[in-house]
Amino acid sequence: MEHVALWIAAFLTLGIYSFLYKDNIWYKLCESIFVGISAGYWFVVLFWDNIYGKFWVGVFPPKAYNDAGELVNSAEPDYLLIVGAVLGVMMISRLIPKIGWVSRWPLAFIVGSTSGLYLINYFTSNMMRQVEATIIPLFGMNYELSAYDIIGNLVIVIGTFTGLVYFFFSKEHKGWFGRTAKIGIWTIMITFGASFGYTVMSRMSLLIGRIDFLFGDWLGLIK
Amino acid sequence: MTMVDIGRLISLIFIGGGLLWLFISGLKGKEVDRRIIFLFIFLSVATPILFPITFGEKATPVVKAVFDKVESLPEGSRVLISFDFDPAMAPEVQPMANAITRHSLTKGHKVIFMSLFATGQALLTQSLRKVVGEEFPELEECKDYVNVGFKAGNEGVLNVIVTDFKKMFPTDVNNVPYDSIEVFDGIKSCKDIDLIVSIGGGMPGVKEWVLFVGDPGNVPVAAGVAAVVAPQMYPYYPEQILGILGGVKGAAEYESELIKNYPHFAEMDTPALRMMGPQTLAHMVIMIFIVIGNVLFFVSRRKRRGK
Amino acid sequence: MKREIPLLITFIVGVVLIVSVFVPPTETLGEDFSVFFDIIAVFAFFLGGGNLVQSHFSKARKRQTDWGYSIVTLVGFVAMLTIGLFKLGNPGGISAPPTAEGSLFQEIFDFVIMPLSATMYSLLAFFVASASYRAFRAKNREATILLVAAFIILLGRTPFGMLVTGWIPESFDILQIPNMAIWIMNSPNLAGQRAIMIGIGLGVVSMSLRIILGIERTYLGGDD
Amino acid sequence: MHVGKSTSLYLPQLFFLFLFICNFLLLSLVYAQTDDPLLNSEDSSVAIPDSELVVVAPVTSLIAEDYKYDDGKQINLSWVPSIDDQLVGSKVLGYRLFRIIDDGKPELLAKLRCGANSYSDGKLKSESVYSYYLEAFSKNFIATSTRTVPISPEREWINFDRKYLFLLAFIIGGAVIFFIESARRGKKLFVRKIAGLEAVDEAIGRATEMGRPILFIPGILDMNDVQTLAGITILGRVSQQIANYDTKIRMPVSRSLVMTAARETIKAAYQTAGRPDQYSDDMVNYVTDEQFGYVAAVDGIMVREKPATVFLMGAFFAESLILAETGNSVGAIQIAGTARPAQLPFFIAACDFTLIGEELFAASAYLSGEPKQLGSLKGQDVGKGIAMAAILIGVLAETIGTAWNVEFMNDVVRWLTILFTTQ
């Protein structure tokens, strides 16, 4: 079994890599296997997790017994979940063209709840928290800061400030405003360059992992 | 000269020669096909794997901080290592988990293993089998270490265990009840743990550990993360995270520090150090390609201006 | 009406969720709604999974190009559903979790999906190289800054960074490439990240309000 | 009007539904066999060996307090540990916390380690009354503390901890609504050009000229992510343009709900453009929820159908570069946008135009060109102004305050920090 599995894995791995040269039968085969099996996999997992684990168990909580066989406190059923199921059934109404428009209700519900939830979430974690984090002293008398730290703090403050200027929509990037925005976009470019360079290593690790598998586990070339 | 040396020499000559040739044709203004780049990346990674090439690593302060913390805790301290990663991230971060596990067990700490990723549990079992099973056969489960496995609920789990560990983990993976596990003696919540190490860079991961356990519970948290997320962790260092192992390089630094202090580890598996060979070579190749790209750009611009 | 009711639902749900943040008794509403979402998503899968079956089925029936692959997809999908939903080959039987260790379902995941997934992911190693070759050229000032930042970081990730700049004396150690790399990551990089994040925070507020107020309503379709 | 479609097309879906129903029946079977392991584990008590009696003092100052600003579910306990609880050679081995609900029997709530001095008891009911006491135990002696005064957790209706969040959100949200309103009343508002969005028209035109399809990827997350919502709203604008030009759009998605939403969106766009007959459900199809399975399929579509234009708008993870590089290799014009900072560099490197973070959320408003939509962008700028002012004032005040110890400046910083602190 192990052996067969190894060969299957190697076959699939090489099939995907063959795409780097060009699209071909082998890749198409791997792709179609991948799509079919993974779609099935996720549905099953979501089904058991959500429909069974969250909905069913929530509405009909399992009863717990102690050693003597007496019923001990069991969780209270959460009938609110039925609303979710009703919305879900509304979603499927699309299958019947005549009442298909009902499916917009759950959609509207989802869009509304996503907007409402994220509005506050993003506002606090992205806006407020970042502003708060940027309120830093450039230098202080009470404690030691090296010259690098001072320059670093200055760069953080100026970079954040000018970066925000760059995102301003109400003013054309011209004159002093344009020049400030320019510093902002440079900061953002450093950010992008740096993150890109930094990421290379983890991407290589993934390839190393696969080559390790091919040469080591499969071909046995590495001791 | 062994076969390995010959192989290494030939491949390095091939890579070096090929790049030189591409550089020269770049001077003539010839673009490189992306498939040739792919080939060189493959070669630069495969060569050091087949014919090991290692480069020395010196631990940077961020990594040293984690090592020193584990080193300085008194014997019998409780260390929690959380495997918060999935198979896709594993090649990069599992070596860190293994190295810290080795170090903690060597120091005689009692280790609690857990995972916030469903797929992390299998990787955890794998690490236990490999590191604990093979290298520390004398240690007893539940007495010297315990594996409580995966619990669904992401940061919800953390929110609970910061005040009550047993509530989330009534038993370990083998259904041994919490109270009969020696490791948990006197441990009510995460606040009673001496060091938390979260390995993984996804969601939930280090950030959640810091926000839900480290900060509220005032527990030292160390992090091992994929290189991609490491920059996002630096702002937490050193106040909220005591040290960070970033990517394979961080793991390699930890391993070399481990070997420096405990020479017998040199004979054991040091996957991160081994992995740094292909890393370094691949980084060099990419940098050379960037240079070639720029040479090409300036050559073609001069040509255009010439006309 | 077919359009007004959904708009009303979006409005009410959105406003209620925003208000609930400030009213403790309704604080858990957000979590409840996320669970609703999870349940709806599974129901929606009938449409998605149905679409998958339908499109590949018709492709195979009409013998369109590459119809053979459609059959492979279909077989894989149906097989996985049957095995997983009825827990075939699961040592724990019907009450065990479908992904229990040793179950056929999980084994297919380990032996088929995992290598495919990891390999797809690893394609990035190649694409990172080809993208940096093409994009990191000193075409203008912005591109040059991008290039220089990336190059310093790349050098800092190898022992060569120390090799090239290790001679720089201690008092100027910031100029040593590994230190410079960390400084870039922690200062300008952080500044850029923050500016982007603050912008995103505000962008979300504005877009969410447009949606909740019904100004943005393209997603709701027409009046048929 | 609905375009007539025979029900036979829905057969596979109905089959699927049947499978589902069968399965639902199975649930009851599973249900019968599972029980909750949590409640079945027995609590083991501490064995006390016979030897010399080790007397310890009880804890003192045990206080139970209602946790403020919650739904009446939590009580916080604090106490001063027993004087015999010491770091080294402690006589106290630990504590046992007991709870009494409504004058009932005391129940063991928790076992705590030495040094513990607080506990929060959650999931309570505001109708009940609770009191607590602690036992400090040595190996053979138990010292019981006094009981706390019975209290019940109170339910608060407004969380005053979040008043500043409310204030800020109110100002910025209010600014957005104010500008939307003033635009609606006909006030002219200026919005600068956004390069990536200026290119949208041209990119669609190019696909029309070349006779090749346009590929639209809304990211890999579901409708419960705000970036996907942004992607769908952009799709609304883009598909209107596509319908006008009568170009082909191809949209593989990785979530079923996104598929449904995208279909509604495109259909509406075709109706607005007056070509409802040109719309077909086949424009959008579901692939798989699996991240890389989806990527494999999209890559295949890219090399086989060679789209002239690719839109990547939404939440992207590692796949960003795989998709963008493949799109680039087939010579497509690529316009990308995401709010995930980690993926932006890859789009910058491999795509022709990239919407950075905030621009993604602004895109749909910008593309619509409607004054009231543009007004919301103005409101955003007010938020940016507040952020910039706070940073500028805060940094100056903090620098002056720490460097020269100016009390007034420290107050300013304190005030700003409170304003921007989130609970």
Closest CA to D42 of A139, A66, B302, A204: A66
For chain C of 224 residues, list the mean pLDDT of each consecutive stretch of 10: 87 94 85 90 91 93 92 95 88 80 88 94 96 94 95 87 74 77 87 94 95 88 54
Name the average pLDDT for chain A. 88
Look up the pTM and report it.
Answer: 0.83
Residues of D with CB under 8 A from a CB of B: 37-38, 41-44, 94, 110-114, 116, 119-120, 329, 342
The yes-or-no verdict on residue A63 having pLDDT over 80 is no
Q: Mean pLDDT over residues D148-156, rounded?
A: 84
Q: What DSSP string describes B28-86?
A: TTPPPPHHHHHHHHHHHHHHHHHS---------HHHHHHHHHHHHSPTT-EEEEEE---
Residues of A in contact with C120 (CB under 8 A): 16, 34
The percentage of chain D sitting over the pLDDT mark of 70, rounded to a whole number, equals: 87
- Cα dihedral sign for B80, B199, C174, D399? negative
Query: Which residue in the set D41, D113, D120 is minimally distant from B163, CB to CB?
Result: D120
Q: Residues B111-141: pLDDT tens digits? A: 999 998 888 888 899 899 988 988 898 998 8
CA distance D203 to D196: 10
- Other CB atoms within a 10 A radius of the CB of residue B56 amount to 10
| A39-A44-A49 Cα angle (round to 5) | 125
State mean pLDDT over D392-414: 90
A residues 29-48 closer than 8 Å to C (CB): 29-41, 43-48
Neighbour-count burial for D259-296, b at 16+ CB within 10 Å, e otherwise: bbbbbbbbbbbbbbbeebeebebebbbbbbbbbbbbbb
How many pairs of residues across A and B have Cβ atoms under 8 Å apart? 69
Interface of C with D in 84-123 (CB under 8 A): 85-86, 93-95, 113, 116-117, 120-121, 123
> Could you tell me if D359 and D234 are in contact, meaning their C-beta atoms sit under 8 angstroms apart?
no
pLDDT of D72: 79
**Among candidate residues A59, A104, C5, the one with its CA nearest the CA of residue D223:** A104
pLDDT digits (tens, 9 = 90+) for D36-61: 433 333 333 344 445 677 888 888 88
Query: Across residues D348-369, what is the average pLDDT?
Result: 94
CA–CA separation, A210 vs B45, rounded Å? 10
The residue of C126, C127, C163, C164 whose CB has the most chain B CBs within 10 angstroms, and thus the best one to mutate to test that interface, is: C126
Q: What is the predicted pLDDT for the residue at D14?
A: 64
Q: Which three-class secondary structure state does DSSP give residue D60?
A: strand
Question: What are the tokens at B110?
Answer: 């009692």
Residue of A nearest to D289 (CA): A39
Strands of chain A (E only): list them: 64-65, 71-72
Q: Among D35, D300, D390, whose Cβ lies nearest the Cβ of A64?
A: D35
Distance CA A8, CA B123 (A): 21
Q: What pLDDT does B235 receive?
A: 67
More confident residue, A75 or A173: A173
Question: Exposed/middle/buried for A148, CB within 10 Å: 0-12, 13-18, 19+?
Answer: middle
- B168-182, C184-198, D243-257, D321-335: range with lowest mean pLDDT: B168-182
Chain B nearest-CA residue for C188: B231
Mutation target to probe the A interface, by most A beta carbons within 10 A, among B49, B150, B212, B225 is B49
pLDDT of res. D39: 36
Query: Strand B195-199 and strand B78-83: pairing?
Result: parallel
Quickly list DSSP for A4-68: HHHHHHHHHHHHHHHHHH---HHHHHHHHHHHHHHHHHHHHHHIIIIIIIIIIHHHSPPPEE-TT
Q: Which residues of C79-91 are buried (b: 16+ CB within 10 A; e: fewer)?
A: bbbebbbbbeebe
Contacts of A97 in chain D (CB under 8 A): 2, 5
Greatest mean pLDDT among B50-59, D156-165, D393-402 lies in D393-402
Cβ separation of D158 and C22 shorter than 8 Å?
Answer: yes
Give the pLDDT band (50/70/90) at residue D89.
Answer: low
Q: Where do we find the tokens 């002093």? A: A176
Which residues is D29 bridged to in the sheet? Answer: none
Interatomic CA distance for residues A39 and A135, integer angstroms: 47
Q: Among all residues of chain C, which has the CA nearest to that of A128?
A: C198
Residue numbers in C near A27 (CB within 8 A): none
Task: Report B:174-193 residues touching D (Cβ under 8 A).
Answer: 175, 177-180, 186-188, 192
C188, A190 Cβ separation under 8 angstroms: yes
Quote the pLDDT of residue C112: 94
- Compute the distance between CA of residue A194 and CA of residue D190 in angstroms, rounded to an integer: 34
> Looking at residue D44, what is its pLDDT?
35
Q: How would you classify the pairing of strands D284-286 and D249-253?
A: parallel
- Confidence (pLDDT) at D35: 45
Kind plus residue range of the DSSP H or E element containing C32: helix C29-61
The whole-number pLDDT of residue A74 equals 57
Q: Look up residue D46 and give its DSSP letter.
A: P
CB < 8 Å to A207, chain B: 41-42, 45, 282
Which candidate from A200, A205, A212 shows the least CB-CB separation from B49?
A212
Distance, C-alpha B26 to centroid of its chain: 37
Q: What is the mean pLDDT of chain D?
A: 85
Facing residues of C218 across strands? none
Q: Do B179 and D44 touch (CB under 8 A)?
A: yes
> Which of C101, C114, C157 has its CB closest to that of B87?
C114
How far apart CA A108 and CA C40 sit, in angstroms, is: 12
Task: Indicate the SS3 state at residue B145.
Answer: strand
Could you tell me which chains touch chain B, where touching means 3 or more CB pairs under 8 A? A, C, D
| D253: closest CA of chain A, how far (Å) | 12
Cβ-based contacts of D380 with chain C (< 8 Å) = 202-203, 205-206
- Best CA proximity match to D117, nearest among C38, B191, C88, B155: B191
The angle that helices C29-61 and C67-85 make with each other, rounded to 10 degrees, is 140
- CA distance linking residue A151 with residue A138, whole number of Å: 8
Residue A131 class from Cβ within 10 Å (0-12 exposed, 13-18 middle, 19+ buried)? buried
Choose between C93 and D371: higher pLDDT. D371
CB D322 within 8 A of CB C123: yes
pLDDT value at residue B10: 92
| Any C CB within 8 A of A218 CB | no
Least confident range of A63-77, A126-140, D71-85, D170-184: A63-77
**Structure tokens belonging to residue A125:** 């974690």
Question: Which among C129, C159, C185 has CB closest to B231?
Answer: C185
- CB contact (8 A) between residue D36 and residue A62: yes
Residue D42 pLDDT: 35
Min Cα separation A206/chain D (Å): 12
C213 vs D140: CA distance, rounded Å: 67
- DSSP label of B177: B
- Residue of D39, D41, D77 to mutate for B, most B C-beta atoms under 10 A: D41
Asked if the model's pLDDT at residue D22 lies above 70, the reply is no
